[in-house]
Chains A and B, each alone.
Chain A
Amino acid sequence: MQLSNRTKKIEPKPLNFWERMYLPVIFQGLNITIKHLFKKKATIRYPEVKRELSPVFRGLHILKRDAQGRERCTACGLCALACPAEAISMLSAERTKEEKHLYREEKYAAVYEVNMLRCIFCGLCEEACPKAAIYLQKDKFAPAFFGREEVIYGKDRLVESVTNRAKVGLDQ
Chain B
Amino acid sequence: MELTSLIVRGLVIFTVFAVTLLIATYSTLAERKIAGFLQDRLGPDRAGPFGILQPLADAVKLFFKEEFIPSHANKWLFIVGPSLAMLTALMSSAVIPFGNEFSIDGQLIPVQGITVNIGLLYIFGVVSLGVYGLMIGGWASNNKFSLLGAIRAASQNISYELAMGMSIIAVLMLAGSLDLRQIVIDQQDNVWNVVRQPLGCVIFITCAFAECNRTPFDLPECEQELVGGYHTEYGSMKLGLYLFSEYINMFVSSAVIATLYFGGYDVPYLSTLGLDKNIETIIGIVALFGKIFFFIFFFMWVRWTLPRFRYDQLMNLGWKSLIPLAILNLILTGGGILAWEHFTK
A binding-site residues for B, Cβ under 8 Å: 20-23, 26, 29-30, 32-34, 36-37, 39-43, 45
Partner of B321, one of A21, A32, A37, A43: A21
Contacts of B305 in A (CB 8 A): 26, 29-30, 32-33
Give Cα distance in the complex from A156 to B272, angstroms: 80
Contacts of B45 in A (CB 8 A): 45
Q: Is the CB of A45 within 8 A of B40?
A: no
Q: Is the interface of A mostly helix, strand, loop or mixed?
A: helix
Give Cα distance in the complex from A120 to B317, angstroms: 52
Please provide the chain B residues from 303 to 327 with a CB less than 8 Å away from any CB of chain A in the complex.
304-306, 317, 321
Partner of A42, one of B34, B40, B202, B306: B40
Contacts of B306 in A (CB 8 A): 26, 29
Chain A, Cβ-Cβ closest to B302: A30
Give Cα distance in the complex from A6 to B306, angstroms: 32
Tell me, rounded to whole Å, the shortest Cβ–Cβ distance linking B207 to chain A. Answer: 14
Q: Is the CB of B301 within 8 A of A33?
A: yes
Q: Is the CB of A41 within 8 A of B321?
A: no
17 inter-chain pairs at a CB distance below 8 angstroms, sorted by A residue, are A21-B321, A22-B317, A26-B305, A26-B306, A30-B302, A33-B301, A34-B301, A36-B37, A36-B38, A36-B40, A37-B34, A40-B40, A42-B40, A42-B41, A43-B40, A45-B42, A45-B45
Given contacts A20-B321, A21-B321, A23-B202, contact A41 B302 (CB under 8 A): no
Give Cα distance in the complex from A52 to B306, angstroms: 35
Q: Count chain B CB atoms within 10 A of each CB in A33, A36, A41, A42 and give the residue with the most.
A: A33
Give Cα distance in the complex from A36 to B39, angstroms: 7
Given contacts A20-B321, A21-B321, A23-B202, contact A30 B301 (CB under 8 A): yes
Give Cα distance in the complex from A29 to B306, angstroms: 7
Chain A, Cβ-Cβ closest to B303: A33
Contacts of A43 in B (CB 8 A): 36, 40-42
Contacts of B39 in A (CB 8 A): 36
Give Cα distance in the complex from A39 to B38, angstroms: 9
Q: Is the CB of B304 within 8 A of A33?
A: yes
- Taken residue by residue from 1 to 43, chain B's Cβ proximity to chain A (1 for < 8 Å, 0 otherwise) reads as 0000000000000000000000000000000001011111110
Contacts of A29 in B (CB 8 A): 305-306
B binding-site residues for A, Cβ under 8 Å: 34, 36-42, 45, 202, 301-302, 304-306, 317, 321
Give Cα distance in the complex from A37 to B317, angstroms: 29
Chain A, Cβ-Cβ closest to B304: A33
Chain B, Cβ-Cβ closest to A37: B37
Tell me, rounded to whole Å, the shortest Cβ–Cβ distance linking B111 to chain A. Answer: 32
Chain B, Cβ-Cβ closest to A28: B305
7 nearest interchain CB pairs?
A43-B42, A33-B305, A29-B305, A42-B40, A33-B38, A37-B37, A43-B41
Q: Is the CB of B301 within 8 A of A41?
A: no
Contacts of B40 in A (CB 8 A): 36, 39-43
Contacts of A39 in B (CB 8 A): 40
Tell me, rounded to whole Å, the shortest Cβ–Cβ distance linking B32 to chain A. Answer: 13
Contacts of A22 in B (CB 8 A): 317
Give Cα distance in the complex from A42 to B36, angstroms: 10
| Other A-B pairs beyond A30-B301, A40-B40, 5, CB < 8 Å | A21-B321, A33-B301, A33-B305, A36-B37, A42-B40
Contacts of B302 in A (CB 8 A): 26, 30
Tell me, rounded to whole Å, the shortest Cβ–Cβ distance linking B186 to chain A. Answer: 27
Contacts of A45 in B (CB 8 A): 42, 45
Contacts of A32 in B (CB 8 A): 305
Give Cα distance in the complex from A169 to B151, angstroms: 62
Give Cα distance in the complex from A34 to B297, angstroms: 11
Q: Count chain A CB atoms within 10 A of each CB in B34, B42, B45, B305 and give the residue with the most.
A: B305
Chain B, Cβ-Cβ closest to A22: B317
Contacts of B42 in A (CB 8 A): 41, 43, 45
Chain A, Cβ-Cβ closest to B42: A43
Give Cα distance in the complex from A40 to B40, angstroms: 7
Tell me, rounded to whole Å, the shortest Cβ–Cβ distance linking A99 to chain B. Answer: 49
Give Cα distance in the complex from A45 to B45, angstroms: 9
Tell me, rounded to whole Å, the shortest Cβ–Cβ distance linking B297 to chain A. Answer: 10
Give Cα distance in the complex from A41 to B41, angstroms: 5
Give Cα distance in the complex from A33 to B42, angstroms: 15
Chain A, Cβ-Cβ closest to B45: A45
Q: Count chain B CB atoms within 10 A of each CB in A20, A34, A37 and give the residue with the most.
A: A37
